[in-house]
Chains A and B, each alone.
Chain A
Amino acid sequence: MAERYYQKDMECASREEMVALQNERLVAQVKHVWDNVPYYRKKMEEKGVTPDDIKGIEDLHKLPFLTKDDLREAYPYGLLAKPLADCVRIQSTSGTTGKRVVAFYTQHDVDLWEDCCARAIVAAGGTNEDVCQVAYGYGLFTGGPGMNGGSHKVGCLTLPMSSGNTDRQLQFMTDLGATIICCTPSYAEYLAESIHERGLRDQIKLKAGIFGAEAWSEEMRHDIEAQLGLKAYDIYGLTETSGPGVAFECSEQTGMHINEDHFIAEIIDPDTLEVLPEGSQGELVFTSITKEAFPLLRYRTKDITVLSREKCSCGRTLVKMHKPMGRSDDMLIVKGVNVFPSQIEAVLLENGYPANYQIVVDRVNHSDTIEVLVEMTPEIFSDSLGHITEMEKELVSALKAMLGIYAKVRLVEPKSIARSEGKAVRVIDKRKI
């Protein structure tokens, strides 16, 4: 079967065409940001850079970086580059110490984002004959809205299921003959198990799955493919730059093509901040060159990966990124939600607990769990079980409010949290992925 593309001219552009387009878009974008985002303009001024210094992508390294800290500092409107009157949407993700990351979209931004998602669906074999079940969460999370829009653009019959409610997912999947499923890989495993338990395997028509928003391994891919009888495609994105579809996998399944007409990717050394030569492992940095409302220049993703320009059998010329191999910060992704230990620490301190804690992340029945071990103190302790239980419940609610997900709290004895070289081990990730 011949490879199909959603926007072939971009996906298969020659390197020269792509560089020319990136040069042109970068120059315009830097000017747009300089004119409309005082926060970033100040950063440029501090570095002694003006838009005149940026003639093309070879000058990209002159621009200052943006990090999640900048997003926090500039929250909520500090990085907005368009009047609110031109914005039609926000999406959001949990951020450090209580402040969320809010990204703004004009209608044009939404349009281009959905194009990116449509490319991913077509690369996974999707056409207007397909029934696409979107089981990512809908709402502030980008997964549902992004893939929903992409599915519309491809012309698939879209099932806007959102996440959870497995019985209903399976009913629609079988009754309407879903052929493509979009969800987190852990939920795909859970669905596979539920299908097996209910003996529904021969009623499943899925041919492709587009899985992202959390880390997963090749072993998990083989497992999901065998159990669901589909081909499993990886997808990458982050709210800060748009959402899913920043990069997507093709039939070759050897990395994700980055939509370079919208995002310029760089790999830097997270310590020296120097740009590394192509093929090096380092931190992925993105510059959005088409976003109007929330155009981030040189945004540090903290994801560690490698880029590759090796010729791809699918015919796409877009650079490929390896599945992220880790993070250069301490962020955890639990149930698709970004969790920073510092957020948990802040909640503990606010609620009168000591900062002696440990976070244990695990995966039970294909679902992530997070447990916070807190050391009991004489101040909190009382003879009343009811009182302690009540305090525990309040802490659980405060954590839920901060993180957006349920975290179990376990009170432990003082000094029982393991310390190595005097420093407490804050995070234990037991997930085997």
Chain B
Amino acid sequence: MAIKQITVFLENRAGRLLEITQLLADNKIDLRALNIAETTDYGLLRIIADDTEKALTVLKENGAIATTTDVLAVAVPNVSGGLNTLLRVLANANVDVSYMYSIFGHADENAYMILQLAEADEVVALLQKNDIIVATEEKLGIN
């Protein structure tokens, strides 16, 4: 059920993010989600692209440092407090979330969150048992 996320090393300087997104745009790659974790000197750009392999190849060919990581895309009811249901299930099961961010737009009436956590397979089972939808790559339009 896991989907592939691409993490790119970003030096902190004006225009560097644009260089990366321009490169992806030039290669007709569409982004499903984007997040930046930053330190004083550099940042980690995390993206979900519609074509992971192509995006990775393009980035590496252009000298960027990039790696892929398995993450989960989890549905959250698009209502106030919708996220809490998900977090409560995880908290009750003592699951540690490394980081989380949201996907652009809607595949259905739900909002979708990207989650990075340990022991993803067990968590998928746990979520499904609690009637929480874990989205597949197809559902999110990812090749």
Chain A positions near chain B (C-beta within 8 angstroms) = 376-378, 381-385, 388-389, 410-416
A384: chain B residues at CB < 8 Å are 98
B44 lies within 8 A of A385 (CB) = yes
Shortest CB–CB separation between residue B92 and chain A, in angstroms? Answer: 25
CA distance A413 to B62 in the complex (A): 12
A416: chain B residues at CB < 8 Å are 11
CA distance A208 to B41 in the complex (A): 43
B64: chain A residues at CB < 8 Å are 413
Q: Any chain A CB within 8 A of the CB of B143?
A: no
B5: chain A residues at CB < 8 Å are 383
CA distance A389 to B40 in the complex (A): 11
A413 lies within 8 A of B65 (CB) = yes
B66: chain A residues at CB < 8 Å are 381
A414: chain B residues at CB < 8 Å are 63, 65
B37 lies within 8 A of A413 (CB) = no
A376: chain B residues at CB < 8 Å are 9, 42, 65
Shortest CB–CB separation between residue B19 and chain A, in angstroms? Answer: 10
Kindly identify, within residues 78 to 122 of chain B, every residue whose CB is under 8 Å from any CB belonging to chain A. Answer: 98, 116
A378 lies within 8 A of B67 (CB) = yes
CB-contact partner of B116 in A381, A383, A411, A413, under 8 A: A383
| Chain A residue with Cβ nearest B42 | A411
A383 lies within 8 A of B46 (CB) = yes
**Given known A383-B69, A383-B116, A384-B98, contact A411–B63 (CB-CB < 8 A):** no
B44: chain A residues at CB < 8 Å are 383, 385, 388
B37 lies within 8 A of A385 (CB) = yes
Shortest CB–CB separation between residue B14 and chain A, in angstroms? Answer: 14
B9 lies within 8 A of A381 (CB) = yes
**Given known A383-B44, A383-B116, A413-B9, contact A377–B39 (CB-CB < 8 A):** no
Q: How many residues of B contact A (CB 8 A)?
A: 20
Taking A378-B67, A381-B9, A411-B9 as given, write out 14 further A-B residue pairs in contact, using a Cβ cutoff of 8 Å, ordered by the A residue number: A378-B65, A381-B7, A382-B67, A383-B67, A383-B69, A388-B44, A412-B42, A413-B9, A413-B10, A413-B11, A413-B65, A414-B63, A415-B63, A416-B11
Q: List 21 A-B contacts (CB under 8 A).
A: A376-B9, A376-B42, A381-B7, A381-B66, A381-B67, A382-B67, A383-B5, A383-B69, A385-B37, A385-B39, A385-B44, A388-B44, A410-B41, A411-B9, A411-B41, A411-B42, A413-B11, A413-B65, A414-B63, A414-B65, A415-B63
A415: chain B residues at CB < 8 Å are 63
CA distance A377 to B67 in the complex (A): 11
CA distance A413 to B66 in the complex (A): 11
CA distance A378 to B44 in the complex (A): 13
Max chain A CB contacts within 10 Å: which of B37, B42, B67, B116? B42
The 3 closest A-B pairs by CB, nearest first: A383-B69, A383-B7, A413-B11
A377: chain B residues at CB < 8 Å are 65
Shortest CB–CB separation between residue B42 and chain A, in angstroms? Answer: 6
CA distance A415 to B60 in the complex (A): 13
A382: chain B residues at CB < 8 Å are 7, 67
CA distance A418 to B41 in the complex (A): 18
Max chain A CB contacts within 10 Å: which of B5, B44, B46? B44
CA distance A274 to B114 in the complex (A): 70
What sequence of 0s and 1s flags, for each residue 1-44 of chain B, a beta carbon within 8 Å of any chain A beta carbon?
00001010111000010000000000000000000010101101
CA distance A383 to B69 in the complex (A): 7
| Chain B residue with Cβ nearest A371 | B41
A389 lies within 8 A of B67 (CB) = no
| Chain A residue with Cβ nearest B6 | A383
A413 lies within 8 A of B63 (CB) = yes
CA distance A381 to B60 in the complex (A): 13
**Given known A376-B9, A383-B116, A412-B11, contact A389–B46 (CB-CB < 8 A):** no
CA distance A415 to B44 in the complex (A): 18
Shortest CB–CB separation between residue A384 and chain B, in angstroms? Answer: 7
CA distance A413 to B16 in the complex (A): 10
A378: chain B residues at CB < 8 Å are 65, 67
| Chain B residue with Cβ nearest A415 | B63
A412: chain B residues at CB < 8 Å are 11, 42
Shortest CB–CB separation between residue B48 and chain A, in angstroms? Answer: 13
Kindly identify, within residues 52 to 78 of chain B, every residue whose CB is under 8 Å from any CB belonging to chain A. Answer: 63-67, 69
CA distance A413 to B64 in the complex (A): 7
| Chain B residue with Cβ nearest A409 | B41
B16: chain A residues at CB < 8 Å are 413
B46: chain A residues at CB < 8 Å are 383
B37: chain A residues at CB < 8 Å are 385
B65: chain A residues at CB < 8 Å are 376-378, 381, 413-414
CA distance A384 to B11 in the complex (A): 16
